[in-house]
A and B are shown apart, each in its own frame.
Chain A
Amino acid sequence: MPSPFIVRGLTALALAWAASGCQASPTAVESPAAAPDTTAAPSDATAAAPRLTSTELNLYAWSEYIPQDLLDAFAAEHGIRVNYDAFSSNEELLAKMQAGAAGYDVILPSDYMVTVMAKQGMLEPLDTSLLANFGNLDPQFVDRPYDPGNAYSVPYQWGTVGIAVDTAAVSTPVTAWADLWDPAFAQGLVMVDDEREVIGLTLMTLGHDRNSTDPAELEAAKARLAALKPNIRLFDSDSPKTALLAGEVKAGVVWNGEAALAHRENPAIAYVLPAEGCGIWFDNLAMPKDPPHKDAALAFIDFVLRPDMSMLITRDFPYSNPNAAGLAALAEAEPELYAAYMAYPATNPPAADLAKCQAIVDIGDALPLWDKLWTDVKSGE
């Protein structure tokens, strides 16, 4: 018969462990921040650091995306406890907000999601004149079509979508999306499991707009994509680099960060910005409608834009930084890291490629059409 002692022992141990975590957490907040070792001049905002009435900030963002040092510094400076809850896709964020979740102060949607959420009245208007550090952003990355005038959001990081190639396994040069159709890649490709990216690049190889809503163009893309299927070994959005690193595939359509991480592990993996034009994306700081701690939210957004904080983002994560002053601070504080950042096309694409890139735009009523196409191609024989 059951041994309650097993259960008791288990519970006691588990609770003891959990309790230790519980006690440790407040000290983690109060402990002085690991001071960022930068020499960048403090901005006006630091000097003015206004007293906030809020004591809490609820952050809802991608996980492992905001440096711990930055969060600690913010907590220390403003005496605010930061709750950092994580989502893993834009669609999760949207579905949650759409169903009525409340209580978050700062969220981190990508470009097209800013449009969708703003159109649905889910975002709190953002007055950039209240952000002392807004001017630190590189002018080419503000006022983008997905959020004209930065009425709701400010860019946090950006990047591209291109082709990662294992140069040890591929002999012919890869320069364009169209090269993926080469029969030499039979069962040799990994693709992000994302209809907007994959159908989009197929449209580009046909010379169409990657955000096309024309049924005839989409029908043509369907046939073309079906022809690519024999080359695709797997779809994986979470970690396409793993299949590349494991040698399961020879090339793949990936986000720049994935390519940069894979390149670090295996230098033979190169990143190509395709001739037809690469994809480009932005992740943005924004506030959901009626945030409970709006003063803290604004203070946080401004804090992230500070050069000494912004450089921490690039120090910790392999994406591209829209903050010009932050990159300047990085050049001074960590010249080696800065040089590597500037030299690698995955983090700092050449201006010519950047000019050709095309962003995903929300296609509204045509999205179900795209999804049906995707379902058909995937479930077809």
Chain B
Amino acid sequence: MLQTIRERDDLKGLLLVGPIAFWLGLFLLVPLALMVVVSFADRGTYGDVVYRFSLDNYRALAAPEYARILGRSVEVAFWTTAMCMAAGYPLAYFIALSPPRRRWLLLFLVLVPFWTNFLIRIYAWMIILRSKGVLAAFLGAVGLLPGPAEAWFARIQLYTPGAVLVGMVYEFLPFMVLPLYASLEKLDLSLLDAAADLGARPWRAFARVTLPLSLPGIVAGSVLVFVPAMGMFVVPDLMGGAQTVLIGNLVNNQFLKARDWPLGAAASMVMLVLTLGVTLLYTRVFGSGEELVA
């Protein structure tokens, strides 16, 4: 139906991709190569880097505690992504269905809250979710607390895993909504009409037409949420009371507390390889969507 076969054109391809390759190569990969070297080095007494090479740092990371930390980080990132998807898809769909001149306003409105300061937004959530906070006061005023909302509130009040999820979903929602919108907006509604004309129920039309067409957006959105969520630790620290250690804490602590750069570099390389592997596998399996469309 749609023609997206890649043509071989070395010159055009390299010209278009040249700038990004230069930028990421020089300013990112070269500095990271330095970090790879550091990951094999040794920590000096005062936290300096001693260039005495070994595999000790990687060996230290084989300890079972670190596997547990990794598992917990994956869990948090997975639920964040799943909930962002559940909450973001209908929102992106709503924006894409709105009249064109209103779409941009609606899209902007999704972003504007995130042009305030990150910490201040989290502090606002803390005010809302405190045990005697804004939400509790509201639920009390409408007679749900104490009452039927008690169990529900206990699960999302401040310093619980539920509160962490509320904050994480909030912070990452735009990174799901925008790619979804970008792919949903091109949806050709005549296809839906055709499906309807052929007698498909709306849900069926959605599952057979809309969903596959928005797959590239789903893939992009989940990568842009899942991957940064893996490294996020500020929200769990502030809204969860810093009661646990995630992989983001682990890496950050090596650089900013234990002053053990080599171990921190090693931990981030392990994380890099694992996450990159999973991400590439994921995008390979789902492609960028075109295989399913063509």
Interface set of A (CB-CB < 8 Å, partner B): 1-3, 6, 89, 91-92, 94-95, 98, 116, 119-120, 193, 195, 232-236, 242, 246-248, 362, 364-365, 367-368, 370-371, 374-376, 378-379
Instruction: Using A1-B100, A235-B243, A379-B72 as known contacts, list a sample of 7 further A-B pairs with CB atoms less than 8 Å apart, ordered by residue number in A.
Output: A3-B101, A3-B104, A6-B105, A91-B256, A235-B242, A365-B43, A375-B69
Query: Do the beta carbons of B237 and A367 come within 8 Å of each other?
Result: no
A-B pairs with beta carbons under 8 Å apart, 9 shown: A119-B45, A232-B241, A234-B159, A362-B46, A367-B260, A371-B253, A371-B260, A375-B65, A375-B250
Query: Do the beta carbons of B43 and A248 come within 8 Å of each other?
Result: no
A-contact 0/1 string along B15-45, CB 8 Å cutoff: 0000000000000000000000000000101
Query: Do the beta carbons of B45 and A365 come within 8 Å of each other?
Result: yes
Query: Do the beta carbons of B132 and A378 come within 8 Å of each other?
Result: no
| Complex contacts, B235 vs chain A, CB 8 Å | none
Which partner residue on chain A sits nearest B107 by CB separation? A2
CA distance A338 to B260 in the complex (A): 43
B25 to chain A, nearest CB (A): 20
Interface set of B (CB-CB < 8 Å, partner A): 43, 45-48, 65, 68-69, 72, 100-101, 104-105, 108, 126, 130-133, 158-159, 237-238, 241-245, 250, 253-260, 263
| Complex contacts, B133 vs chain A, CB 8 Å | 246
CA distance A236 to B119 in the complex (A): 14
Supposing A3-B104, A92-B256 touch, asked if A367 and B47 sit within 8 A by C-beta, the answer is yes
CA distance A378 to B253 in the complex (A): 13
Which partner residue on chain A sits nearest B101 by CB separation? A3
B133 to chain A, nearest CB (A): 8
CA distance A365 to B133 in the complex (A): 44
Cβ contact of A367, chosen from B65, B105, B258, cutoff 8 A: B258
Query: Do the beta carbons of B259 and A91 come within 8 Å of each other?
Result: yes
Cβ contact of B46, chosen from A6, A91, A120, cutoff 8 A: A120
CA distance A277 to B2 in the complex (A): 75
CA distance A92 to B252 in the complex (A): 11
B151 to chain A, nearest CB (A): 18
| Complex contacts, B241 vs chain A, CB 8 Å | 232-236
| Complex contacts, B43 vs chain A, CB 8 Å | 365, 368
Cβ contact of B244, chosen from A92, A246, A368, A379, cutoff 8 A: A379
Cβ contact of A379, chosen from B48, B68, B100, B238, cutoff 8 A: B68
Query: Do the beta carbons of A95 and B255 come within 8 Å of each other?
Result: yes
Supposing A248-B130, A367-B258, A379-B65 touch, asked if A119 and B46 sit within 8 A by C-beta, the answer is yes
Query: Do the beta carbons of B132 and A247 come within 8 Å of each other?
Result: yes
| Complex contacts, B72 vs chain A, CB 8 Å | 379
CA distance A63 to B100 in the complex (A): 46
| Complex contacts, A3 vs chain B, CB 8 Å | 101, 104
| Complex contacts, A95 vs chain B, CB 8 Å | 255-256, 259
Query: Do the beta carbons of A98 and B48 come within 8 Å of each other?
Result: yes
A347 to chain B, nearest CB (A): 27
| Complex contacts, B255 vs chain A, CB 8 Å | 91, 95
Query: Do the beta carbons of A2 and B104 come within 8 Å of each other?
Result: yes
CA distance A234 to B163 in the complex (A): 13
Supposing A119-B46, A248-B158, A367-B47 touch, asked if A94 and B245 sit within 8 A by C-beta, the answer is no
| Complex contacts, B238 vs chain A, CB 8 Å | 236
Which partner residue on chain B sits nearest A369 by CB separation? B258
Query: Do the beta carbons of B257 and A91 come within 8 Å of each other?
Result: yes
Query: Do the beta carbons of A378 and B130 come within 8 Å of each other?
Result: no
- 7 nearest CB pairs, A to B: A234-B241, A371-B258, A235-B242, A91-B256, A379-B245, A364-B45, A378-B245
Query: Do the beta carbons of B65 and A116 come within 8 Å of each other?
Result: no
CA distance A233 to B158 in the complex (A): 10
CA distance A375 to B104 in the complex (A): 46
| Complex contacts, A236 vs chain B, CB 8 Å | 238, 241-242
Query: Do the beta carbons of A6 and B244 come within 8 Å of each other?
Result: no
